[in-house]
Amino acid sequence: MNFEWQVISNNLFFLMGGLVTTFELALIAIAGGLTLGILVGMGRLSTIKFIYYPATLFVNLMRTQPLILVIFWFYFLMPLILGRPIGGFTSAVIAFTIFEASYFAEIIRAGIQSISKGQIDAAYSTGFTYWQAMRYFIIPQALKNMMPSLITQAVVVFQDTSLAYVIGLREFLRSANVVDAREMRSVELYLFVGLVYFIVCFSMSQVCKKLELKKGNA
Amino acid sequence: MIEIINVSKWFGQLKVLDNVNETINKGQVVVICGPSGSGKSTLLKSLNGLEPFQEGDIRVDGISLKDPKTNFIKLRQKMGMVFQRFELYPHIKVIENITIAPIKVLNKPKAKADKKAMELLERVGIPEQAEKYPGNLSGGQQQRVAIARALAMEPDIMLFDEPTSALDPEMIKEVLDVMVDLAKSGMTMAVVTHEMGFAKEVADEIIFMDEGRIIERGTDRSFFENPESERAKEFLRKILI
């Protein structure tokens, strides 16, 4: 079997364009998913029924759906709701943010629960409000405990973005697919794609390992 | 200063406070003791609204805790609290533990809050620990920081919830010394504790609780020398071996 690796270098610029889209999508989905996830995770711990039930419904609904279906929903439903077409990228961003938020929310919920109730009593006893107590004491401590799980989830999000392929978004995998259709070099292209995913995800999980070791020492 | 009027509280079916009445006047030190599960910590935590109660009322300086308009945030600024397990914030330094509430809640300038915090650390005898993290301090030192943290808000009342129960025996005295000092300076205090030496030295009144009720109250002498109830006698026998 003979490999023709020039297919990679010849199309490197195009492939890197796809990788940039993948990174953009992943970063927005992680930032948005985490922000929304913090709010939903806090909602899951709320004693107010109007907050607890919608948050719980949201988490259970999202976590019981395949991601690919959620991507379809937003791609086909959003134009109907808005009355105008939205781009593949926008619809993917919305789908990923909302879907990943439900996973981040459960990590956040567990993280907040890992902090003793005494900490919030202590904050209350010196006149802090609920939101201040969360911001200054509970979330900073919880985030530290949750860091390994959050990074693992971020790695998953990065891999998940390849599913945006199905709505024709030209992210990294789709770019390779486009080149393959023209050059017929599937093996080289998909090995290269796999290698890039490996490098990115493996280095992220190494960072995670370092953080866990640091936590163990503290 | 604090009036507790017919307060009752249930956890589900279990009645944890049963028609409690008590008045704590300005400058008084009231010690609350009793076997575990008697409701003493619950009573203490209901004073600053950390534990809600179903019946009765508590008034702090005339402000009713049952009034829906009562601002608990404001109320708690005037009531310092010290916990059994210290509850220092482990992710920030000792000095920041003390200054964060004055800075964020009272909008005090940082320099002023720092100065006050150092004075308080001086007062509780550990100014050299200011830049450390709570986890690097002994239990006794942590509890003294917790007292300084509460005092930084310049409260009118201090609540202590078994402040020495989680400490090794050799560290109890250093915390009690700070508390005795505070009592002698005229601070109004409600203290849940089994430290009868402390009670004898500074308490104006001792309340003995069992099964959610106050079953005996007295000044130190009357309580220690001839308790009336069998339950209090038995309790004293056990802790004053």
Note the ipTM here.
0.92
Does the pLDDT of residue B180 top 80, yes or no? Answer: yes
Check: CB of residue B112 under 8 Å from CB of residue B140: no
Query: For residues A11 and A183, what is the distance between their CA atoms, to the nearest angstrom?
Result: 10
Q: Does B11 touch chain A (CB under 8 A)?
A: no
With CA atoms as reference, the chain A residue closest to B153 would be A126
Residue from A126, A128, A147 whose CB has the most chain B CBs within 10 Å, to mutate: A126
More confident residue, A218 or B83: B83
Q: A136 to chain B: which residues are within 8 Å by CB?
A: 89, 100, 104
Residue B50 has pLDDT above 70, yes or no: yes
Residue B95 pLDDT class (50, 70, 90 cuts): very high
Kind of pairing, strands B55-60 and B63-64?
A: antiparallel
Candidates B47, B70, B89, B159, partner chain A, best to mutate (most A CBs within 10 A): B89
Q: Do B101 and A116 touch (CB under 8 A)?
A: no
Minimum Cα–Cα distance from B151: chain A residue:
A126
pLDDT digits (tens, 9 = 90+) for A30-58: 999 999 999 999 999 998 999 999 999 99
With tokens 């509780």, the residue in question is B124
User: Is pLDDT of A75 > 60?
Assistant: yes
Distance (Å, whole) CA A105 – CA B141: 37
pLDDT band at A71 (very low <50, low <70, confident <90, very high): very high
pLDDT number for residue A4: 84
What is the C-alpha separation between A173 and A164, in angstroms, rounded?
9
Averaged pLDDT score across all residues of chain B: 92
How does pLDDT run across B19-36, given as a tens digit for each residue?
999 999 999 999 999 888
- The better pLDDT of the pair A70, B222 is held by A70
Q: What is the pLDDT of residue B241?
A: 57
Which residue has better confidence, A2 or A100? A100
- List chain B residues with CB under 8 Å of A118: 83, 85, 87
Residue B122: pLDDT over 70:
yes
Query: What does the pLDDT read at residue A218?
Result: 47
In 3D, which of B230, B205, B237, B220 has the Cα closest to residue B32? B205
With a pLDDT cut of 70, the percent of chain A lying above it is 98
Q: What's CA A210's distance to the chain center, in Å?
A: 21
* Contact call for B105 and A122, based on CB within 8 A: no
In 3D space, the residue among B96, B135, B89 whose CA is nearest the CA of residue A141 turns out to be B89
3-state SS, residue A171: coil
Residue A124 scores a pLDDT above 60 = yes
Mean pLDDT of chain A: 91
Check whether A209 has a pLDDT greater than 90. no
Distance from CA of A138 to the nearest CA of B (A): 9
Q: Which of B49, B83, B153 sits opposite A122 (nearest CB)?
A: B83
pLDDT of B208 above 60:
yes
Question: DSSP state, A115?
Answer: S
When pLDDT is cut at 50, 70 and 90, the band that residue B223 belongs to is confident
Query: What is the structure's pLDDT at A216?
Result: 55
